[in-house]
A and B are shown apart, each in its own frame.
Chain A
Amino acid sequence: MRYLIGRLMWALLILVGTTAITFAIVFLVPGDPARVVAGPRADAATIASIRRELALDLPVPVQYGRYVGRLLRGDLGRSYATREPVAEILARRLPSTALLAATGLAIAIVIGLLGGLVTAPLAGTWMDRTALVLSLGLLSAPVFWLGMLALYYVGYRWRLLPLGGAGDVRHLILPALVLGTGTGVYYARLLHTNLVSVLGADYVRAARARGASALRVVAVHALRNAGLPLLTVIGLDFAALLNGVVLTETVFHWPGLGRLAFDAVLSLDVPVIMGTVLLSAFLVVASNLAIDLLYRVVDPRIRLG
Chain B
Amino acid sequence: MRGTGSLLRLGLAMGALLVLVAAVGPTLAPYDPAAPVAPQLAEPMPPAAPFYLGTDDLGRDVLSRLLHGARISLLVGVVAMVVTMVIGTAIGLAAGYFGGGVDVVLMRVTDVMLAFPGLLLAVALVAVLRPSVWTIFVVIGLVSWTGVARVIRSEVLSLRERDFVLAARALGARHARILRRHVLVNVVPTIVVIAALSTSGTILLDAGLSFLGIGVPPPTPTWGRMIQEATAYYRVAPWLMLFPGAAVLYAVLTFNFIAYGLAGDGRAPGA
Contacts and interface: CB of A to CB of B under 8 A. Distances in A.
Interface stretch (B85-93, B182-190, B260-268): B260-268
Interface stretch (A18-26, A38-46, A165-173, A212-220): A18-26
User: Interface residue tally of chain A, by bracket?
Assistant: 35 or more
A203 interface: no
Interface stretch (A48-56, A60-68, A82-90, A236-244): A236-244
A25 B128 contact: yes
Nearest to B231: A148
B217 interface: no
Contact of A152 (B115, B127, B234): B234
A144 interface: yes
Interface string A115-156: 000000001101011001100110111111100110110001
B116 interface: yes
Contacts of A233: 271
A97 to B, nearest CB: 11
Interface string B157-183: 000000000000000000000000000
B111 interface: yes
B253 to A, nearest CB: 4
A286 to B, nearest CB: 10
Nearest to A129: B3
A280 B208 contact: no
Given A132-B260, A281-B116, A26 B124 contact: yes
B257 interface: yes
A78 interface: no
B30 interface: no
Interface string B200-228: 10001001100110000000000010010
Interface residues of B, number: 48
B119 interface: yes
Nearest to A188: B268
Contact of A148 (B114, B234, B267): B234
A177 B249 CA distance: 18
Interface in B5-20: 7
B46 interface: no
A229 interface: yes
Contact of A243 (B125, B208, B268): B208
B120 interface: yes
Nearest to A156: B235
Contacts of A240: 117-118
Interface stretch (A103-111, A261-269, A294-302): A261-269
Contacts of A234: none
A239 B143 CA distance: 12
A246 interface: yes
Interface of B: 3-4, 7, 108, 111-112, 114-121, 123-125, 127-128, 130, 200, 204, 207-208, 211-212, 224, 227, 230-231, 234-235, 238, 241-242, 245, 248-249, 252-253, 256-257, 260, 265-268, 271
Given A136-B256, A246-B117, A281-B115, 5 more contacts: A14-B112, A137-B253, A145-B245, A156-B234, A156-B235
Interface of A: 13-15, 17-18, 21-22, 25-26, 28-30, 123-124, 126, 128-129, 132-133, 136-137, 139-145, 148-149, 151-152, 156, 186, 189-190, 192-194, 196, 229, 233, 236, 239-240, 242-243, 246-247, 250-251, 258, 261-262, 265-266, 268, 273, 276-277, 280-281, 284-285
